[in-house]
Chains A and B, each alone.
Chain A
Amino acid sequence: MELLDIFVTLGFWGALVRMATPLIFGTLGELICERAGVLNLGIEGIMTMGAMVAWMWVYQGGDLWTAVLVAAAAGALFGLLHAVFSVYLGLSQHVTGIGITLLAASLSYFAFRMLLPDVTTPPKIDPFKPFPIPGLSEIPYIGEVLFTQSPLTYLAFVLVPIVGYGLYRTPLGLALRMVGENPMAVEAQGIDVHRLRTCAVMLGSAFMAVGGAFLTISVFDAFYIGMINGRGWICIALVIFASWRPGKALAGALLFAAFEALQIRVQQASSAVIPYQFFLMMPYILSILAMIVMSRRAAYPKALLVPFRKGER
């Protein structure tokens, strides 16, 4: 297959949109946390937890949409835990985040093994089916790429303008952005900084968990150990790439997904020339390059990583 042929195949563009979905959820979630001034390195573990919980829910006979809610609730719970450590106790957000990732991932694996002992091949579930949107899906080409996707993919795309609107056009969004820039000012307005940050981290973590759940109950039909495989860390790089803006986060997620989708196809086309490991490295190297390119323009939320204690300056 010629390289240029890849770009005209429907499969490539459809895969791109599909692969962007977990990145969109994760990046939006991390963006909300960081806008409120909290770096959430728990993302990798929270996505794992979301993937496991949602899969297990469906496997035990639960309904797919309830599984999404259960995953979101589990994510919010770990977000609350992260907030207790990083917001209320004001501990180093780096270290507590790593701790949350270790805890959430190992608890997911433990629970998975506990509920399914003596299983060698991972059992399967019936995942979300592609849902063609009536009318729109009949548009040639575009319909097949954009409007014949999993319902969770539509949800991810719809969330981008909602988060953008919420952050920039509502009083709550203003407060949330301010709490990441200047918590003293928010406190002066009579808003509880700790409570606001905690809500933001819980909401963001719920998004991340749904991103993980997408992998198990929409793309794959099974849960594997290590299936998140660094996607969470890529989301963190994407937030910086997006300069903390939801619209750019969507663009970044699509760009990365394009690369991921391309990588698989180029790998099949030219495995003899370049070893496939180098293609697999590309998302990680691209993340680092993206951070380098964006670093000059990076306008970090000013209170990111800074714990807030009442009555302290």
Chain B
Amino acid sequence: MRLEPRAHVPFWLNITAPLAAVVLAFAFCALLILWAGAPIVPAYTALVKGAFGSTFALTETLTRAAPLIFTGLAAAVAFRAKLWNIGGEGQLYAGALAATYFGTGLVTLPPYLMIPFLFLVGAVAGGLLLLVPVILKLKLRVDEVVTTLLLNFVVLLFANYLLFGPWKDPLAMGWPQAAPIIDEGVLGPLVPRMRLHQGFIWAIAFAVFAWAFIRFTKWGFQIRAVGYNPDAAAFAGMPIGATVLRTALLSGGLAGMAGVCELAGLKGYLTLDISPGFGYTGIAVAMLAGLHPLGVILSAIFIAAIYNGADAMSRAMSISNYLADVLTATALLLVLASVLFVRFRPRLR
């Protein structure tokens, strides 16, 4: 097989190719549902109902989408500059740790200042954490994929130490959890009696911000240029190092805010299961969105819907809810392939 660049990409192909990939992913998982001995149509109906079928289902999906928007943006922004930040999970926990440190009584501000303050410290913590591998990459050419990945484990173990040691809340009846965030820092609910909280609005706002930043500012242009062709960018006199550092602060900051969002919006206190791998899923979110910040909103809601829906389906049909992970991974790989076929025409020889 041979791939030829397409001179002209028909508009319909840009839309149908990723959609076809997602349909194929569902078809593949239908085989797994069959294997589990469940009927396909009722199973997928249960999935859709569990994701969007009621106010409760819908708000739960959006609640789950909020941190995924943040981690998806983190991956999208970094990947735009060809900075392979696989450390979203660690940066998320770094953000949550910082917010716990400042938000459990050390600082007290009125809510309209306290909440932005928590997001700020979370972003700074996440950004600084990513800065370490990026400086190593720039100064010593140490591959950032492995270092960001390994730091995830380090941060999680550090959080583990704090929660079992100095930060353990004596009022938590022996559970490894930190003291709760003070009331001024809590993100209030958006819908009465539902878990959906203001973190979702913050996520949307930052998606729009990230889009505008990349699209309209000089620094955003530099991020795109460095990712597209670093040699040309350097030739044009762009500060490559500074651009990569800015990208790191932005990307790590966004991932750190995912931690704040979950901490201040959902749990109220830090635990070790605050993220079921949002940092990793964010990579799939970003790729599904074609690294477009506004697309991240849609793809985060889509993936959150798959997870929530698969939970409902697994309860209704007794199918393992790991199916959601399989579906996401399959969709990720197939969408990657589909994007290639948009740009290239396959020719069989």
Contacts and interface: CB of A to CB of B under 8 A. Distances in A.
Q: A and B: partners?
A: yes
Nearest to B336: A91
A303 interface: no
Interface stretch (B50-58, B149-157, B247-255, B262-270): B149-157
Given A91-B336, A106-B326, A114 B145 contact: no
Given A96-B333, A298-B141, A277 B325 contact: no
Interface residues of A, number: 47
B284 interface: yes
Judged by DSSP, the binding face of B is helix
A277 B150 contact: no
Contact of A114 (B86, B147, B154, B320): B320
A53 to B, nearest CB: 15
Interface in A296-313: 296, 298, 309-310
Contact of B153 (A230, A236, A292): A230
B145 A292 contact: no
Interface in A90-104: 90-92, 94-96, 98-100, 102-103
B280 A102 contact: yes
B146 A94 contact: no
B97 to A, nearest CB: 14
A31 to B, nearest CB: 14
A278 interface: yes
A89 B287 CA distance: 16
Contact of B320 (A98, A113, A237, A296): A113
B283 A95 contact: yes
A107 B25 CA distance: 13
Contacts of A99: 284, 287, 329, 332-333, 336
Interface string A93-133: 01110111011011101100110010000000000000000
B326 A281 contact: no
Interface of A: 39, 41, 81, 85, 88-92, 94-96, 98-100, 102-103, 105-107, 109-110, 113-114, 117, 230, 233-234, 236-237, 240, 275, 277-278, 280-281, 284-285, 287-288, 291-292, 295-296, 298, 309-310
17 contacts: A89-B337, A89-B340, A94-B145, A96-B336, A98-B283, A99-B329, A106-B322, A110-B323, A113-B322, A114-B35, A230-B149, A240-B143, A284-B150, A285-B150, A285-B154, A296-B140, A298-B141
A-B pairs, top 6 by smallest CB distance, nearest first, are A106-B325, A113-B320, A103-B329, A102-B329, A277-B161, A110-B322
